[in-house]
Structure 1
Amino acid sequence: MATAVQKITLSSSRDIPFNKLVLSQANVRRVKSGVSIEDLAASIARRGLIQSLHVRPVLDADGQETGMFEVPAGGRRYRALELLVKQKRLAKTAPVPCVVSRADSDILIDELSLAENIERAPLHPLDQFRAFQTMREKGMTEEAIAAAFFVPVQVVKQRLRLASVSPTLLDVYADDGMTLEQLMAFTVTDDHARQEQVWENVRNSWSKEPHQIKRMLTETTVRASDKRAVFVGLDVYEAAGGSILRDLFQDDDGGWLQDPALLDHLVAEKLKAAAEEIASEGWKWIEVAVGFPYGHDYGLRELTGVTVDMTDDERAAREALRDEYDRLESEYAEADELPDEIDQRLGEIEQALDAFEQRPVIYDPADIAIGGAFVSIDSEGSLVVDRGYVRPEDELPVETERGEAPVADDSDPAAPTVQRAVITIGGQPTETEEDEDDGIKPLPERLVIELTAHRTLALRDAVAQNPHVAMTMLLHKLVSETILHNSTPGCLHANVRHVFFPAQADDLKDSLSAKNVAEREEAWKQDIPANDDALWNWLTMLDDTSRLALLAHCVSYGVSALYERPNPLSASGVSEHGLNVRLAQADRLARATGLDMVEVGWRPTFGNYLNRVSKARILEAVREGAGERAAQLIDHLKKGDMAKEAERLLADTGWLPEPLRLVDLDGQAVETQADAEPGDDAALPDFLTEDGEEETSLEDEDGELAVIAAE
């Protein structure tokens, strides 16, 4: 016979006045978590009490009901109702929906409280995203949704963006096939097909970190911080129909421009317009490029113009700005932090003063007719115009010291031209009787060579006995070739071959060394005369200190410490021995000059070294520069993250890779700041000094927790 199933009886529910309720001391919730009491009270005021309280009658000493009820489950709702009563928004006797359990139940009140809290299943983040999306589709604005759920509008935008990811990927996320951070990475683009394509490429890969997903989604785009984008302007790009990808979850530095072809077209158009305006000044040529490599003006003669002086009004305006700047600096000298408006004003004054220093230069019209200009964009996205360069083929003919070139005698144009044969015997020309006449003919070529050989040898001897003249001659030659770019051969067969770099990093032209060389040359150019005779006289009058400084500057152009693959079979190649000699001499020069690459500003960065070597090399660098402890704390990171952290850790250590280290005479690296034993207290990022890994969460614009997604 079948046993009857015992039926259960549910607790009854009824409305109980609020002033008859008390919070149970058996409530297990002690730690604040989730939505605040204030937000819950506001939610109840807006929507009413969605979930009833669970209560149990309070008994007196004799076991009789007192008419009061304690609340073991629903304590936060009770406190929210209590807050509304204190705010006079709810009556003390307002009826509260309650589920009442029996006072004599054999279930402990503590069990009720614990079960009510742990048996609740939290809402899956995706359900929340989709709920927000549904409310948005039904007409609620993002601001209204944010107000209804007491979150910033930015959080609502983030959740709506997550809900807009490809449905295929949302299903993967719902099945725990990807993390929330990976899903966030896919929001940088609205292209569902591209999102799914990238996921297929990374789903079974060892490298499917969010930054890798984002990189793949934006690999055909251009960063908004790119100098081309800054030069054109995002507004102009968007007005032309270009679209921009945005990242709502992290600082994206302006986003990513999706149409590089359109951007390059806009850049070309703007550069062309600038070039046409400059060409109207009368220059023979204009060369345009987004950027020119270091040394692009080699071999060109730079014209010297006249700087336009400031007018009286401009001088007065400049002095007024200087006085205002000094006054503001003095007024706020003791302030720990400048007010925003003062800081902005000081910046405006600095820009205005810099503009006064950038004076226009007037060139001779004859020079403009044979010269040209370079038009490009600097690293900050500003237009750069370098005027006043003359190419060798455009140089005007130079008159010789001994007069004009001879002019042929054409007094008798009808006279026939007779080509006479030159007969030589034993290398000596033969002369016949009929050759002799009363006319004076040019000397035979061979004789001229012999005579000038005598003169050359005598000049060598004389120069060798006069060091001052020898120094002047060498300086004259070197200055003409390296600074004035005069390639016309002279009587001295000595030269410095300007060595250029077949491969160079993007930041080479902005390095401290490049700036020093350019500034030094510009300073010399201010004094060096362009005329050949005037240059000789000027060099003769220089004091010995200046002559040596100028000689050093010219000679420096020929220094090469470049490594190149030995290739003695090439016309311009170098042998293994030649390369070793070059590098050994470069080390000798470094020792002699006290060169320290750290002092000249070189630092290992993500782009110039760390991301271009293996993880083992990165760890070796951090171990040498920041210590074993720092290396151990980043050895678990992916290569890209490891390289970024290594850049920060090595920033002030003075560490250098082997090719940049100074080598002593024994072939050992000279000790630098990084070679000293690093202390274990080297500054490390917060997350690297914690035990275990921190849970990743989304943050709002103020840096406070906003996620959000999994609340």
Structure 2
Amino acid sequence: MATTVQKITLSSSRDIPFNKLVLSQSNVRRVKAGVSIEELSEDIARRGLLQGLNVRPVLDAEGAETGMFEVPAGGRRYRALERLVKQKRLAKTAPVPCIPKAADAATSAEEDSLAENVQRVALHPLDQFRAFLAMREKGQPDEDIAAAFFVPVNVVKQRLRLAAVAPSLLDLYAEDGITLEQLMAFTVTHDHARQAQVWEVVQRSYSKEAYQIRRMLTETTVRASDKRAQFVGLGAYAEAGGVIMRDLFQNDDGGWLEDVALLDRLVADKLKVEAEAIGTEGWKWISVAVETPYGHVNGLRELSGTTADLSVEEQATIEVLNAEYAKLEAEYESADELPDGVDERLGEIETALAAFDGRPVMYDPSDITRAGVFVSIDGDGKLSVDRGYVRPEDEAPVTVDGEGDTEAEGATPEASDPSTPMVQRAIITIGGQVEPEDDDDDVIKPLPERLVTELTAHRTLALRDALATNPHVALTALLHKLVLDTFQRTSSSGGCLEASVRHVFFSVQAADLKDSPSAKAIAARQDDWKTDLPADEDALWDWLVGLDDASRSALLAHCVSYGVNALYEKVDRYGGAGLSQHGLERRLKHADRLARAVGLDMVDAGWRPTVDNYLSRVTKPRILEAVREAKGEQSAQLIDHLKKGDMAREAERLLDGTGWLPEPLRLADIETAADTPTGETGALPDFLASDDEDAAVETEDDPARMIAAE
């Protein structure tokens, strides 16, 4: 016999005047959450009531219906309607769609109220993203969508950007295969193929964090804060067809410039235009580079120009600005905080006065024709023009008495004719950069010779800075040199004292050397002394005599520091005039002695292992060795499966803050160095121990083969 299925009966809906409704005390919602009553009422005013109210008749003491209805489910909608009635935007008797239930229904009012809230399923965020996208595709502006849902416009833009991620990734997000944070990271680029490529790598990696996804998506880009981007301008880059990648979910510092080749071309073009304009001033040569290396003016004579005089009008303007500044300072001297307007005005005055300090420097026309200019970009992305440097080969020839009327060799009659105007076209050179070769061999090879030289250039500069701030050690080093010259008669040259300081120029150096803390400290100290030093040699002697002992010691230390040369350099194997192996060993040993004396620590000096200055320049085993030394074997195993580029970037993150240093920057073992008898040559570090340039593999049985390879 077939079982009879019992049919259910749904309550029929009916319209009930609003003034016949009251809020039930059986409503289980007590805590405010989600959309406010104000926003819900505005939404009802815009769209109407999308869902009716659940109501029950109110009974009197005898159990008879009173004609009023209570609302146990839908209390927030009732409050929103009530607000519209109070605002007279809805009539008191306006019919409200309701679903009434019998007073003696099988389920209680509390149960109905709870069920309505518990059984409701929130919309998946992806459905919301796609709904916003559909509304925009139908012609609704972002502002209208934001107004319709009472959210800021930026929220709409964010959700639309999420909806534009690669469909395959959206499908993964719908299935909880990736997190919302990961999905937000993918919005940095619109390239679906690149998004899929990065996810393919990330899902096999131990690190699946959002920051790693962003890093991989932007690894071939240039930040908008880069000085090249600031120099060209984001507007000019975009106008030339360049794409700027933006992150709508966190501060991206202006975003990333995707087309690096285009940016470099725009930089080169703008620098060339600037150089050509400067060339009309009559300079012999102009050297153009994005950034000039440290010590680029070594060996060049700097012209002494004169600053252009202030005009009467300019002088009057300065006096007026100074008077106004002094008046404002006096007026608000006792104020705890300056008003915004006053603070802004003081800043304007300071800027205006600073502009007068940057007046152009005038040079002798005859000097200009043999001198040159360095054109580059400073750290703030502004044009840097350094005028007035003469190369040794361009110096005016020294004439002997009686030869003054003889024309200089190679001079033309037009050049010797004062009536003929001199028109000289500047020779403009634009520097380039050679990328280092990659090496993915699995063996730990010796450090490249150029890298060792770059690292020791960093150490030399830091050692100079440390020595210049330690007059006692500087005096000891100088006395040591004098004693050697006096008692051992080592070679020396220059001056009647037979003691000199030769400034060593770093022909091989890393790009970040001139921006290091040591370089900046040395340059600032040099500028401070240069400002005080008299130009005349006789006056210099008298000035030195008048210095107090502390100033004399400080100046001596500064001068002696310029003679420090702790560079590793290629030795001359054939006994020529170059550096010998013994000379290199002696130099490095002496450098360690100085480093210990001044307490040099390259970590404190600001050196950190990065992708550019070390990790991309060595083999994968070297990278793993560095991580292993600094963080242990477990950290090394986390990255040993990565490709070299990814490994280098992760190693930079892991090594940050550990204080790890490569061998050339470490201080030699103190006890070993102290035990070496005077006059004997100490052993070189492992990475310099061998003379075999062709050594390619280091082994435990033969550590002496660890040399700097070319």
Report the TM-score, using the length of structure 2 for normalisation: 0.69
1:241 aligns to 2:246 (yes or no): no
1:582 pairs with 585, 590, 604, which one? 590
SS at match of 1:67: strand
1:223 aligns to 2:223 (yes or no): yes
1:300 aligns to 2:300 (yes or no): yes
The answer on whether the counterparts of 1:610 and 1:618 sit within 8 Å (CA) in structure 2 is no
The answer on whether the counterparts of 1:11 and 1:100 sit within 8 Å (CA) in structure 2 is yes
1:535 maps to amino acid: E
Measured at CA, do residues 337 and 615 of structure 1 come closer, stay the same or move farther in structure 2, by a change above 3 Å?
farther
1:99 maps to amino acid: I
What is the distance in 2 between the residues matched to 1:491 and 1:50? 101
What is the distance in 2 between the residues matched to 1:65 and 1:496? 110
What residue is the counterpart of 2:359 in the other structure?
A: 359
The answer on whether the counterparts of 2:161 and 2:187 sit within 8 Å (CA) in structure 1 is yes
Which ranges of structure 2 fall in alignment gaps of 5 or more residues?
A: 407-477, 483-492, 617-622, 633-646, 673-710
What is the distance in 2 between the residues matched to 1:19 and 1:574? 103
What is the distance in 1 between the residues matched to 2:652 and 2:35? 39
2:146 maps to amino acid: A
Measured at CA, do residues 390 and 10 of structure 1 come closer, stay the same or move farther in structure 2, by a change above 3 Å?
same
1:509 aligns to 2:532 (yes or no): no
SS at match of 2:187: helix
The answer on whether the counterparts of 1:610 and 1:643 sit within 8 Å (CA) in structure 2 is no
Residue 271 of structure 1, CA deviation: 1.0
Residue 573 of structure 1, CA deviation: 7.5
SS at match of 1:140: coil
What is the distance in 2 between the residues matched to 1:335 and 1:322? 20
2:57 maps to amino acid: P
After superposition, the C-alpha distances for 1:440-480 in whole angstroms (9 at most, x for unaligned) are: xxxxxxxxxxxxxxxxxxxxxxxxxxxxxx99xx9xxxxxx
Measured at CA, do residues 330 and 65 of structure 1 come closer, stay the same or move farther in structure 2, by a change above 3 Å?
farther
The answer on whether the counterparts of 2:158 and 2:248 sit within 8 Å (CA) in structure 1 is yes
What is the distance in 1 between the residues matched to 2:167 and 2:515? 47
1:553 aligns to 2:558 (yes or no): yes
SS at match of 2:69: strand
Residue 495 of structure 1, CA deviation: 3.6
1:346 aligns to 2:343 (yes or no): no
After superposition, the C-alpha distances for 1:279-308 in whole angstroms (9 at most, x for unaligned) are: 222211110000011111111121212222
What is the distance in 1 between the residues matched to 2:204 and 2:650? 20
What is the distance in 2 between the residues matched to 1:278 and 1:616? 52
Describe how 1:251-290 pairs up with structure 2 within 5 A: 251-290=251-290
After superposition, the C-alpha distances for 1:321-342 in whole angstroms (9 at most, x for unaligned) are: 2223333344455556555544
Measured at CA, do residues 521 and 579 of structure 1 come closer, stay the same or move farther in structure 2, by a change above 3 Å?
closer
Residue 320 of structure 1, CA deviation: 1.9
SS at match of 1:188: coil
Residue 540 of structure 1, CA deviation: 6.4
What residue is the counterpart of 1:429 in the other structure?
A: none
What residue is the counterpart of 2:501 in the other structure?
A: 496
What residue is the counterpart of 1:535 in the other structure?
A: 537
1:509 maps to amino acid: K
Residue 183 of structure 1, CA deviation: 1.5
What is the distance in 2 between the residues matched to 1:254 and 1:108? 58
Residue 550 of structure 1, CA deviation: 4.6
Measured at CA, do residues 247 and 392 of structure 1 come closer, stay the same or move farther in structure 2, by a change above 3 Å?
same
1:312 aligns to 2:294 (yes or no): no
1:16 aligns to 2:21 (yes or no): no
1:582 maps to amino acid: H
What is the distance in 2 between the residues matched to 1:543 and 1:300? 29
Residue 42 of structure 1, CA deviation: 0.4
The answer on whether the counterparts of 1:566 and 1:579 sit within 8 Å (CA) in structure 2 is no
Measured at CA, do residues 149 and 541 of structure 1 come closer, stay the same or move farther in structure 2, by a change above 3 Å?
closer
What is the distance in 2 between the residues matched to 1:156 and 1:336? 43
Q: Percent identity?
A: 62
After superposition, the C-alpha distances for 1:92-140 in whole angstroms (9 at most, x for unaligned) are: 2222111111211231222111111011111111111111111112122
What residue is the counterpart of 1:704 in the other structure?
A: none
Taking only aligned residues, the RMSD between alpha carbons, in angstroms, comes to 4.2
Comparing 238-247 with 656-665, greater Cα deviation is found at 656-665
1:213 maps to amino acid: I
Describe how 1:451-530 pairs up with structure 2 within 5 A: 494-500=499-505, 508-510=513-515, 513-525=518-530
After superposition, the C-alpha distances for 1:412-458 in whole angstroms (9 at most, x for unaligned) are: xxxxxxxxxxxxxxxxxxxxxxxxxxxxxxxxxxxxxxxxxxxxxxx
1:559 maps to amino acid: V
The answer on whether the counterparts of 1:539 and 1:547 sit within 8 Å (CA) in structure 2 is no
SS at match of 1:385: strand
Measured at CA, do residues 605 and 141 of structure 1 come closer, stay the same or move farther in structure 2, by a change above 3 Å?
farther
SS at match of 2:71: strand
What is the distance in 2 between the residues matched to 1:333 and 1:529? 39
Measured at CA, do residues 331 and 191 of structure 1 come closer, stay the same or move farther in structure 2, by a change above 3 Å?
farther
Residue 314 of structure 1, CA deviation: 1.4
What is the distance in 2 between the residues matched to 1:113 and 1:62? 25
SS at match of 1:370: coil
The answer on whether the counterparts of 1:55 and 1:69 sit within 8 Å (CA) in structure 2 is yes
What residue is the counterpart of 2:31 in the other structure?
A: 31
SS at match of 1:262: helix
SS at match of 1:316: helix
The answer on whether the counterparts of 1:499 and 1:557 sit within 8 Å (CA) in structure 2 is yes
The answer on whether the counterparts of 1:290 and 1:376 sit within 8 Å (CA) in structure 2 is yes
What is the distance in 2 between the residues matched to 1:336 and 1:156? 43
The answer on whether the counterparts of 2:566 and 2:587 sit within 8 Å (CA) in structure 1 is no
Describe how 1:144-163 pairs up with structure 2 within 5 A: 144-163=144-163
What is the distance in 2 between the residues matched to 1:580 and 1:544? 37
1:76 aligns to 2:76 (yes or no): yes
Residue 228 of structure 1, CA deviation: 0.9
The answer on whether the counterparts of 1:53 and 1:74 sit within 8 Å (CA) in structure 2 is yes
1:119 maps to amino acid: Q
SS at match of 1:33: coil
2:162 maps to amino acid: L
Measured at CA, do residues 88 and 577 of structure 1 come closer, stay the same or move farther in structure 2, by a change above 3 Å?
same
Comparing 162-171 with 575-584, greater Cα deviation is found at 575-584
Residue 256 of structure 1, CA deviation: 1.5
The answer on whether the counterparts of 1:242 and 1:257 sit within 8 Å (CA) in structure 2 is yes
Residue 75 of structure 1, CA deviation: 1.2
Comparing 655-664 with 159-168, greater Cα deviation is found at 655-664
Residue 391 of structure 1, CA deviation: 1.2
What is the distance in 1 between the residues matched to 2:376 and 2:628? 40
Residue 23 of structure 1, CA deviation: 1.8
Measured at CA, do residues 202 and 335 of structure 1 come closer, stay the same or move farther in structure 2, by a change above 3 Å?
farther
After superposition, the C-alpha distances for 1:367-401 in whole angstroms (9 at most, x for unaligned) are: 2222111000000011111111111222233358x
1:110 maps to amino acid: E
Measured at CA, do residues 282 and 326 of structure 1 come closer, stay the same or move farther in structure 2, by a change above 3 Å?
same
1:125 aligns to 2:147 (yes or no): no
2:541 maps to amino acid: L
The answer on whether the counterparts of 2:298 and 2:505 sit within 8 Å (CA) in structure 1 is no
1:43 maps to amino acid: D
SS at match of 2:13: strand
Residue 164 of structure 1, CA deviation: 1.8
Measured at CA, do residues 574 and 106 of structure 1 come closer, stay the same or move farther in structure 2, by a change above 3 Å?
farther
Aligned residue pairs, count = 558
The answer on whether the counterparts of 1:55 and 1:100 sit within 8 Å (CA) in structure 2 is yes
SS at match of 2:369: helix
Residue 578 of structure 1, CA deviation: 3.9
The answer on whether the counterparts of 1:590 and 1:662 sit within 8 Å (CA) in structure 2 is no
SS at match of 2:127: helix
The answer on whether the counterparts of 1:37 and 1:76 sit within 8 Å (CA) in structure 2 is yes
Measured at CA, do residues 373 and 505 of structure 1 come closer, stay the same or move farther in structure 2, by a change above 3 Å?
same
Report the TM-score, using the length of structure 1 for normalisation: 0.69
What is the distance in 2 between the residues matched to 1:153 and 1:53? 32
Residue 166 of structure 1, CA deviation: 2.0
Measured at CA, do residues 540 and 96 of structure 1 come closer, stay the same or move farther in structure 2, by a change above 3 Å?
closer
1:110 aligns to 2:118 (yes or no): no
Residue 665 of structure 1, CA deviation: 9.0
Which ranges of structure 1 fall in alignment gaps of 5 or more residues?
A: 408-469, 475-487, 621-637, 668-711
